[in-house]
Chain A
């Protein structure tokens, strides 16, 4: 396709404002997908996306459209996720585009993530087409939206288009605007191949599938290419576009977006953000890659069966290929054996990664309580970074601890100011600014400990504002806080998997909860078991599992000793599968249950 007939754009918005539904209509209008094949949010093809009704991965698709000017255009659309945890997907998608369709739900108006996403798009110098969606709904408030566009986003309200992604009203105008307003890909300075890997996935037969934006040159099957970061070369096996199924093409030309398969089996050899160039005629300078994203939340992921450790490592490699914001590193725990310390962009991200490992890779796993990175200043003057509570040094050696804080922009209808303020207080935050955005909405700016956000702030905000509140945040340095390590011990021996770093005032209640749960799931043994939650040397909660008072089956089964012995052997087998902490046997199941309950809080 000629470069000037190509339009590359992403659809961006706050969560649930209708990106994927708009994508559906575009797919239909352009006859990319027949009516028979059509289904709601067609691009959300991952089982988890369909179940949760949200987009998790960016989804590219190529469409052909004959415009009013009778010319046929290639439209490369990338549908992006709206949830803050997947913002990295958005920013990478934008790198493949010249424009963005910014959707605003006309009944909700501008939300926190609208602001965050538009900032991303503007930073990359993209052309923005604002669209007010869901105008079929009676609660549509166009006046509010126009005011917010101008006041908050500094976009002239005349630029906004109106549509209902549900009914299809306004869609042709959006397509024409995409063709008119979004520039074609820029004229490259090169004619040698330079193409940016914006995403990738793994196929068990074909190896790594790279999603690329060709900036200059062309790529076709049989070409010899080089990955500029690893300096490894491969032969291209296939190039093509997503329609949204993979469709092979004879070549990918400058300015277009598609996929490239080069028989790469080792997931470590393909890196998102890398530049693919020609082996024979390489470009001198790699394209700008992506800023590395730093995980916000850490947690341990362990195979339930320690024999699955290697399989888990391989699965994580494949998953990471498709999601570079997820990082992992081997670690071990006395209670859980060998596993991985993993970093995530947020709690939803963590949940999704765990689910994908379980479902898509068949891994049976358990994860530990999420933690952030703490800065620990020792009396010796040394500074440590701790993301695993187990490694928090002895409290007597610690001078003070700092925790990461974030700056949150919280947008709410002003009826809820009081409620939001008290939530911020409860979560140890400080509200710094309150600003009216229109006559009904305010934007609160607050500093909050990241850990509190990670746990349940967003859900609480959502439910207390009946879904009208929204929040966006960015890291804002570190701040000293009275943090302590909460240890769980059985008969004096600590269980590392249950250690957590918590605010001093929350230690007792959390300790009590875990101790109570543990009491329910640890079987009685021949001796009494003390379960203690401790901070430093001090016990903050305690439960006792009384000693087993008997272990004998009464009957003799008419002399069937074999049967009796087999029953006992079965019991012993069960015991062997338990982890021994000191003298106490704890079934794997108990760890799983307690961790499940205590991490989902």
Chain B
């Protein structure tokens, strides 16, 4: 997919995992062979080369999955080597699974300029991991974080999941505390979603939303004490340590996704590569998501409310002109009277309550755009 855009961000999807976690619906495979990995890396390189002219202004690179760390050392090296061709001293993140990371891989990443690591921890409690069908142990997580810190990585994120059946408020507090003790500067806390198609959704039919909300608040408090502020529904960081890549995505940045199932956005069109490794390797076309420019503008507006800072009006104006907010005035006012949004002279954002209803805000806006614009 080439257009004359300058992408702000690059995302690489690595579709391999050691095993598939029961709650996960991200596209990933357990089976892989040296041949498949080589083909995969070759295609990634080819796609990157094909978009080279659109990638000269990159501010962030994010390698996710799947599990990038599941790649063998030499495969990882060839991927990193390729990526350094596009790296511009900005944020360069790799997602790691503590079970598949080791010192050699970390060193390699460090040497190629990776400056941010995101560890999937999910839970430090064996009981909770068992419910989740997550195989990595807590000691592996701590060891991996310590090792990364020792090697000089400063920006480290850990993901945890809460709202898991059987998990108590105290369990969760312990989880969060454990990770905080590691001194990480970024923290993601995802409330469990029973996604259609996941193994977990076949086993468990319901989660306790009320308890999940308590955990959401508890987490915010604990992290605040440690100096990490919520900046998005599920993300916390020391000031200045936010994940710029993800923030950008919520704020209308243009990003290119490379790899099977990777999603891209050029400011107007969105497209998603085939979530099927062999189809993607064969060059099957990405699925294009095209809606009217006005609807797109509202969509971007809608999802931006997931961030705590919300929209700086100027930014929105620079992206989609000054009319977006005017055309949506009626529905924005309604959301404000419902207490979900709040507005200052230069910002419009979700209220504290509104963040918990970010999907409600988003779907209300999207529906409004579909019916009125």
Hey, which bits of chain A sit against chain B, CB under 8 A? Answer: 524, 526, 546, 548-565, 568-569, 571-572
Structural contact, B213 and A555, CB atoms closer than 8 A? no
Chain B nearest CB from A574 CB (Å) reads 11
Interface set of B (CB-CB < 8 Å, partner A): 11, 13, 26, 62, 64, 189-191, 193, 209-210, 212-213, 216, 233-234, 246, 249-250, 255, 257, 261-265, 270, 272, 289, 299, 303, 306, 338, 355-360, 362-363, 366-367
Choose one: A526, A549, A556, A563; the contact of B209 (CB below 8 Å).
Answer: A549
Q: Is there an interface contact between B210 and A554, defined as CB atoms closer than 8 Å? A: no
Query: Is B357 in contact with A526, judged by CB distance below 8 angstroms?
Result: yes
Cα of A561 to Cα of B366 in the assembled complex, Å:
12
Structural contact, A552 and B289, CB atoms closer than 8 A: no
A-B contact pairs, 8 of them (CB 8 A): A550-B191, A551-B360, A558-B11, A558-B262, A563-B272, A565-B366, A569-B366, A569-B367
Nearest CB in chain A: distance from B224 CB, A: 19
Q: Shortest Cβ distance from B219 into chain A, in angstroms? A: 12
Q: A554-B190, A557-B263 are in contact. Are A526 and B338 (CB under 8 A)?
A: yes
- Determine which of B210, B257, B299 lies in contact with A565 in the assembled complex, contact meaning CB atoms within 8 Å: B299
Contact across chains for B213 and A549 when beta carbons are under 8 A apart: yes
Q: In whole angstroms, how far apart are the Cα atoms of A441 and B183 in the complex? A: 89
CA distance A569 to B371 in the complex (A): 12
Q: Are A572 and B357 in contact (CB under 8 A)?
A: no
Residues in chain B near residue A554, CB distance under 8 A: 189-191, 193, 233-234
Given known A-B contacts A550-B213, A558-B263, A564 and B234 have beta carbons under 8 A apart: no
Contact, CB under 8 Å: B246 / A568: no
A549 interface neighbour in B356, B363, B367, Cβ under 8 Å: B356
Q: Find chain A residues with CB under 8 A from B355 CB.
A: 552
Given contacts A549-B209, A555-B190, contact A562 B359 (CB under 8 A): no
Complex contact A558–B13 (CB within 8 A): yes
User: CA–CA, A430 to B8, complex, Å?
Assistant: 86
Selected from B212, B257, B262, B338, the residue in CB contact (under 8 A) with A550 is B212
C-alpha gap A553/B357 in the complex (Å): 9
Residues of B within 8 A of A524 (CB): 209
Q: How far is the CA of A558 from the CA of B10 in the complex (A)?
A: 11
Query: Apart from A551-B360, A553-B193, A555-B193, what 10 extra A-B contacts exist at CB < 8 Å?
Result: A548-B209, A549-B210, A550-B216, A552-B356, A554-B233, A559-B263, A560-B263, A562-B272, A569-B363, A572-B367
Q: Which listed residue (A551, A564, A568, A569) contacts B357, Cβ 8 A?
A: A551
- CB contacts (< 8 Å) of A562 on chain B: these are 263, 270, 272, 289
Q: How far is the CB of B316 from chain A (nearest CB, A)?
A: 16
Contacting residues, chain A, for B299 (C-beta < 8 A): 561, 565
Min CB gap B359→A, angstroms: 5
Given A548-B209, A550-B216, A568-B359, do A559 and B255 touch, yes or no (CB 8 Å)?
yes
A561 and B26 form a contact (CB under 8 A) = no
Min CB distance B183 to A, Å, is 24
| A561: chain B residues within 8 A (beta carbon) | 249, 263, 265, 270, 299, 303
Chain A residues within 8 Å of B216, by CB = 550
Q: How far is the CB of B127 from chain A (nearest CB, A)?
A: 21
Per the bound structure, the CA–CA distance linking A548 and B360 in Å amounts to 11
Q: How far is the CA of A559 from the CA of B261 in the complex (A)?
A: 10
B236 to chain A minimum Cβ distance, whole angstroms, is 13
